[in-house]
Each structure stands twice: as structure tokens, then as C-alpha cells.
Amino acid sequence: MDSKNKNIESDWGGGNRPMKASYGKLMMWFFLITDALTFSAFLGAYGYHRFTHFSDWPIADEVFTHFPFIHGHYPLFYVALMTFILIMSSVTMVLAVHAGHHMNKKGVIIWMFLTIVGGITFLGSQAWEWYHFIKGTEKGALLIPSGEHGQKRVAHYVGAHDSYHDDENHELKSLSQDQSLDLVQAEYLDGQAVPKDLLKKNDKGEFIYAEQIFGAPLTGEYAFRYNEYGHTTFSNFFYFITGFHGFHVFTGVLINIVIFINVLKGVYHRRGHYEMVEKVGLYWHFVDLVWVFVFTFFYLV
């Protein structure tokens, strides 16, 4: 065998690492590229629909306003907390990888445990967020027949009153049925006023033509078709993209638990390196990376 063939064999005969990374790590990176493309396709599709319907697209500040144990209007705080939890769990993961490089088994155990706790906390927070998104606000919105093929349109109350201040007697008086009928006003999402006769109420004070709708229902007649926030595509994309991301977090937690058990059993210590922790770490950081983009495009922009 001449020297030329020998060179070819040493280059292409296997056993080489031209990228100085193991097979497993390389494949994790390439999987993450495909996953990044998947998520950018979803967020791109979201952007497409948002730009197409931007006149009746909901404003995130007015949709996500809840914070646990506090009443009132607190936009962005809760999702900022969720972002903080995920960044924090990313830091503990990187510290676990770091401890693994130094063959510090105890360090890996502590930091991986905290990472798992962070991941579960994030999932819980997301469940809470979804619950409030589905349940909706106290006021809700009105669903009004638009006359075309039994379709309905979503409208919001504008200055709807059940009582008024009587200036002569300086007291708050509740309105009679006829009076309040005059004062109930609503406008469609595009700002057009809703015709008054569509807002008529019966003796019991219920709307005759209009219906009340709360949140973004996942079940029942109006599931995925109407919601109080605005264009339905918004809530559908919200469920789909945050759901898909949440599923990534969920699988990340599961894989973390598997690796964590192996660390406890000392599998990687016997193997002589903690590269598995590094690989699952890559996945975990990627999940954090995706959340950074979801945070921007769903809540900020």
C-alpha cells in the first residue's frame, strides 16, 4: 500500500473527529438546527398572520395581565418571572456541565437537581398562564350575529353602565331596564359601533341577540372559532407555539431526570467523563433560547 492510499484511509477510514466533537454531540447540534428551523417556521407563520390581520390583532399587554395573588393590571410581570425561572435553570445546567468537566459528581447532582426543579416550576407557571388565558377576563366580550351565513363578530363593551350618579340627590342610582339599555354600548374590534338593537336585553337582563364570551375556549361550540381577545389566529398560535415549546420543556425535564438517575448511579463517573450531561445541557439551553424568542414575539412586540 503506497503512502497516498494510507493518507486517504487515515482521513476517511473512520475514527477521525474533524470537528473535534463526538458523534453524539454533533448529532445533538444538528438536531437543534432542525428544531430551530421548525420554531422559526412557526414564529414566521405567526408573523405572517399578524401582519395580514394587524388591524384586529390583540395587544399582548391587554391579554396577559394577571399575576398570582394580586388583583389588577400587571402586564409582562408574570411572563418576565417565567423567563427568569428558565434563564436561572439554564445557569444551573451550565454549572452542572462545568462540574462534570471537573469530575465533581456531587456538584453535578446538586446543579442538575436544581435544573429539574426549575423546569418543573416553569411548566407549572405555564399551566397557570394557560388557565387564565382560557378563563378570560371578568368582563369578557360580546358575540354578535353579523348576518352573514350565521357568522358572529366579537365586540367589546364601551361605557356599559348598570348605575349612574344622580347629581341632584348626590347618590348612586341603579338604572332601570330601559335606561340601561340606552347606555349599553359596544364596538366591534375594528372600532365600528355595534347597532343598538343588537344589544337589547330581556326582562331578566340577559342579551337577546348578543352572547357573552369569556377567554379563548378550548371546548364547546365556539372552541377555536371565537374568543374575547380578537383575531382567533392569535389564540390558536398561542396554544400551538407555547404548547410546542412547553412540550420541549417537558421532554427536557424527562431527559434530565434520566441523566440525573444515571449520575446518581455513578454511570458517568465510571465512564470517565460527563459528556451526556453536556449533550442534555445543549438541549436544555436550546429550550431556553427558543423561549427568549417566544417571549419577544408573543409578549413584547
Q: What is the distance between the alpha carbons of residues 292 and 298, in angstroms, rounded to a whole number? A: 10
Q: State the burial class of residue 259 (Cβ atoms within 10 Å of its Cβ: 0-12, 13-18, 19+).
A: buried
> By CB under 8 A, is residue 31 in contact with another protein?
no
293 belongs to the binding site for another protein (CB under 8 A): yes
Amino acid symbol at 120 = I
Least distance from another protein to the Cβ atom of residue 272, Å: 16
Q: Which is nearer to another protein, 10 or 296 (CB)?
A: 296
Could you tell me which of 69, 221, 224 has the C-alpha nearest to residue 132? 69
When the beta carbons of 183 and 289 are compared against another protein, the nearer one is: 289
Amino acid at 32: L
Is residue 282 a contact residue for another protein (CB under 8 A)?
yes
CB 153 within 8 A of CB 213: no
Shortest Å, Cβ 95 to another protein: 6
**From CA 44, how far away is CA 236, in angstroms rounded?**
14
Note whether 160 binds another protein by CB under 8 A. no
Using a 10 angstrom Cβ sphere, with 0-12 exposed, 13-18 middle and 19 or more buried, the burial of residue 269 is middle
When the beta carbons of 29 and 113 are compared against another protein, the nearer one is 29
Q: Which stretch in 78-86, 145-153, 177-185, 203-211 sits in contact with another protein by CB under 8 A?
A: 78-86
Binding residue for another protein, selected from 26, 127, 223, 261, defined by CB under 8 A: 26
- Segment contacting another protein by CB under 8 A, of 33-41, 134-142, 213-221, 268-276: 33-41
Terminal CA-CA length for the chain: 64
Contact call for residue 40 and another protein (CB under 8 A) = yes
Give the integer Cα–Cα distance in Å for 128 and 149.
37
3-class secondary structure, 141: strand
Q: Is 33 in the site for another protein (CB under 8 A)?
A: yes
The yes or no reply on residue 157 touching another protein (CB under 8 A) is no
Residue 62 within binding range of another protein, rule CB under 8 A:
no
Q: Which of 152, 149, 158, 237 is nearest to 193 (CA)?
A: 158
Judged by CB under 8 A, does residue 129 bind another protein?
no
- Sign of the CA dihedral running 261, 263, 268, 270: negative
Q: Does 109 bind another protein (CB under 8 A)?
A: no
The grid cell for 10 is 487515515
151 binds another protein (CB under 8 A): no
Question: Which one of the spans 89-97, 124-132, 197-205, 222-230 is the region binding another protein (CB under 8 A)?
Answer: 89-97
Residue 72 is classified by DSSP as S
Binding site for another protein (CB under 8 A): 18-21, 26, 29-30, 32-33, 36-37, 40-41, 44-45, 47-55, 61, 75-77, 80, 83-84, 87-88, 90-91, 93-95, 97-98, 101, 278, 281-282, 285-286, 288-289, 292-293, 295-296, 299-301
